[in-house]
Amino acid sequence: MNTEAIELLVSKHPDLKGAREKLEAMQPGAYCIHRSWGMGVIKNYDVKTQRLVIDFEEGDRKGHQMDPAFCVDKLDILPPDSILVRQREEPDAIEEMIKKNPADLVVEVLSHCPDNSASQNELERQLQRVLGERRFKKWWLATRKLLVKDPRVAVPSRKSDPYILRDEPVRAEDEVMDEFFETKNPHKKIGHAARLLALSVRHDDIKDALPDILKELTQSLKETKVLTEGERLFGLWVRNDLARFIHEDPEQIEPRTADLLRESPSLSLLAENIPGTHYKRYLNLIERSFSDDWVKIHFDLLKNSSGKFTTECVNYLLEKELEKDVADALERWLNEQNLRGPVLLWIIRNRKSRKYGELMEGILNPRLLSAIFYAIDYEALQNASTRRIALADAVSDDALLIGELLENSSLETATDLATMLMLNQGFEDLSKKSILARFIKLYPTIQSLVDQGATAAKQRALIVSAESFAARKAEYDELVGKKIPENKEAIATAREHGDLRENAEYKMARQEQETLLARKDQLEAELSRAQTTDFADSPTENVGVGSVVTLKAVADNKRSARYAILGAWDSDPERHILSYQTALGQSILSKKVGERALLNIGSESEEWEIASIERWPDKKASFGR
């Protein structure tokens, strides 16, 4: 825009006086970015219409006209040396920078930002415009690793901090050193110390500083109260590596790793909180710290392990030539029904491997399949969320597993396991059908069991109200989520008190456990059969579930009684609400008005006649509901 056009525009819109510099930059050939339409280039200014003519790159917006008065706050004019302008004017040079010198591209972008700094979001937004959405993510992931080592750029440690182009380059190792001594965060201090130890091999100045780094890290580990056991142990390992590197004995520095292990309430829980790369070091530390009991401890860890730690435990025991002990332990745990889901998953996945296959030869049988189904069902009952069960997925995906474990088993055994599968709550319906098909392929007669099971399930269904179902479900949730865990803690506490034969607290806790588990089993069975209803479809031509029935004594027409016949768990006799499963309910179900039944309403049995039948939803208010 020329001066005359700008003066005319400002005279019409006085509030544009502050935007004069921006208006002056709106010259033909200038590149711009619109907040909604992206990159464009100004072609000219139409004096007659007093509008800018802009070719936008996105969409069908070539020769698009815009009133400067209304677009001045939505349009950013790019300087000629902007990276986005250079990408259009010299694309080959920018492409070479993207591929070969990605850090230079970031430096170029930051050099044009106010104060040579940009928030992470702003920097990523600008770089994404240069590279495009599809290409950006992978490129940026690799480039960020390079920037950490680039002395020209200060890379933020927190997302809220900006990227800064330094006035003078600073070595990455110097920056790490400064951050180590400045930070009070023990997590960061441990990480920086580990990195400085690695850098010290190539940098003598860092090597000279290692004694001070060791002293600082040791003090931090002594004072901190925010680290978990696993984080603290990892920190001690980093400190020990530092000590050995400068020829100091880590066993003479407190706190010691062995002391941490001896004070730990659970070595299995501690294992879950250390990096996977340090599993073997952890097992080795246990052997050194518990020289007399380490084998027993290692087997306890294996029994309660999961994922990569299971493999590491087995490998460690094999290195100690304890192959037979591992095989015997797996068989013993299976016989004692002590195999946990994660270990069962490891067995499934490794049963054919050259390294581990022989360990499992004695347990690849129907008992293992029973243990697998039990573990899946147990996890499903304990798991309130919708997350998938890894063991169940493994069984579903492994087309050969059922055939291998059922080889040479009896029809009775296979039938029991198929029944166990049908009742299992840990499989999705489609997966369950797929697995049952594998049973049927081996034992065709199991098909009749499946059919009978479906019919029996319908016959055994319990009709219940939504309110009573919610009450039972709440009772079950309290059992599983509170009472049973509390009881487990009580058993564990009582066990610590000494001889179990003379331990009254232990016996009482075990008796309570039996009661709680029996009630849990009962509730599980009942809830699995329940079908909720609001009784909206209850009949009026005959007595059904959801009927309100008025009865009259045949011997004395003046005596009457009125009952609501509701769901299996709805009985409230004081308010004349009965379950359809009660004797009275069963006696009048399906009867019509005028029909009679021998009922025990008073002190003795006598005939009563159905006088009227109404629907519960219409009459529940009269019962105080």
Pair of tokens at residue 181: 């001594």
What integer pLDDT is reported at residue 386 of this predicted model? 57
Q: At 106, give phi and psi (nearest 5°).
A: -65, -45
The pTM (predicted TM-score) of the whole model is: 0.53
Which residue did the predictor score with more confidence, 166 or 323? 323
Mean pLDDT score, 75-104: 92
Across the range 393-401, mean pLDDT stands at 94
- The CATH number covering residue 595 comes to 3.10.50.30
Q: Can you give the pLDDT at residue 521?
A: 83
For the chain, percent of residues with pLDDT exceeding 70: 94
Determine the average pLDDT of the residues in 27-35.
Answer: 91
DSSP β-bridge partners for residue 564: 548, 577
* Strand partners of residue 32: 40, 77
Whether residue 299 is predicted with pLDDT greater than 90 in this model: the reply is yes
What is the mean predicted confidence (pLDDT) over 433-455? 80
**Contact assessment for residue 239 and residue 221, using Cβ atoms and an 8 Å cutoff:** yes
Residue 449: the pLDDT is: 67
Mean pLDDT of 4-23: 88
> Is residue 34 a contact partner of residue 18, using CB atoms and an 8 Å limit?
no
Q: Do 62 and 81 touch, CB atoms closer than 8 A?
A: no
User: 144-153 pLDDT, tens per residue?
Assistant: 989 888 888 8
Give mean pLDDT, residues 30-54: 90
Residue 59 lies in a domain: yes
What is the mean predicted confidence (pLDDT) over 58-78?
Answer: 88
Residue 601 CA to residue 556 CA, distance in Å, equals 13
pLDDT confidence band for 384 (50 / 70 / 90): very low
Residue 248 is predicted with a pLDDT of 92
CA distance 217 to 387: 40
Q: Report DSSP letters for 104-122, one per residue.
A: HHHHHHHHTSGGGEE-HHH
Pair (176, 260) in one structural domain = yes
Closest among 329, 230, 318 to 274, alpha carbons compared: 230
Q: For residue 591, is it within any domain?
A: yes
Mean pLDDT is lowest, of 138-147, 499-508, 512-521, 609-618, for: 499-508
CA–CA separation, 608 and 596 (whole Å): 6
457 — pLDDT class (breaks 50, 70, 90): very low
Pair (254, 178) in one structural domain: yes
Which tokens in the block code for residue 591?
A: 């009867």
Q: Look at residue 332 and tell me if it is in a domain.
A: no
Q: Kindly indicate the confidence band of residue 451, based on its pLDDT and cuts at 50, 70 and 90.
A: low
Q: Do you know the residue count of the chain? A: 625
- Give the pLDDT of residue 399: 93
Residue 69 is assigned to a structural domain of this protein = yes
Q: Is the pLDDT of residue 467 over 80?
A: yes
- Identify the domain boundary among 217, 246, 264: 264
d(CA 542, CA 45): 86
- pLDDT for 502: 57
| Domain stops at, among 222, 243, 264 | 264
Residue 434, token pair as written in the block: 């797929």
Span between the terminal Cα atoms of the chain, in Å: 79
Residue 127: HSE in the Cβ half-sphere, 13 Å Cα cutoff: 28
Residue 326 lies in a domain: no
Residue type, 137: K
Count of structural domains, the chain? 5
If DSSP codes are grouped into helix, strand and coil, which group holds residue 6?
helix
Look at residue 459 and tell me whether its pLDDT is greater than 50. no
pLDDT at 448 over 80: no
Q: Please give the average per-residue pLDDT across 467-474, as a whole number.
A: 91
The mean predicted confidence, pLDDT, of the chain is: 87
Neighbours of 564 (CB within 10 A): 24
Query: Over 70: is that where the pLDDT of 333 sits?
Result: yes
- Within 8 A by CB and 6+ apart from 418, the residues are 436, 439, 443, 446, 449, 450
Q: What is the DSSP letter of 572?
A: B
Does 542 fall in a domain?
A: no
User: Hey, is 174 helix, strand or coil?
Assistant: helix
| Region 237-264 average pLDDT | 92
Instruction: Over range 19-44, report the average pLDDT.
Output: 90
Residue 383 has pLDDT above 70, yes or no: no
Higher pLDDT, 510 or 93: 93
> What is the Cα–Cα distance from 76 to 83, expressed in whole angstroms?
14
Query: Which of 532, 560, 578 is at the close of a domain?
Result: 532
Residue 247 lies in a domain: yes
Same domain, 99 and 161: yes
177 and 143, same domain (yes or no) = no
Return the pLDDT at 555: 85
Structure tokens at 478: 């309290």
Residue 122 falls within a domain, yes or no? yes
Alpha carbon distance 180, 196 (integer Å): 9
User: What is the CB neighbour count within 10 angstroms for residue 375?
Assistant: 22
Q: Which domain holds residue 572?
A: 547-623
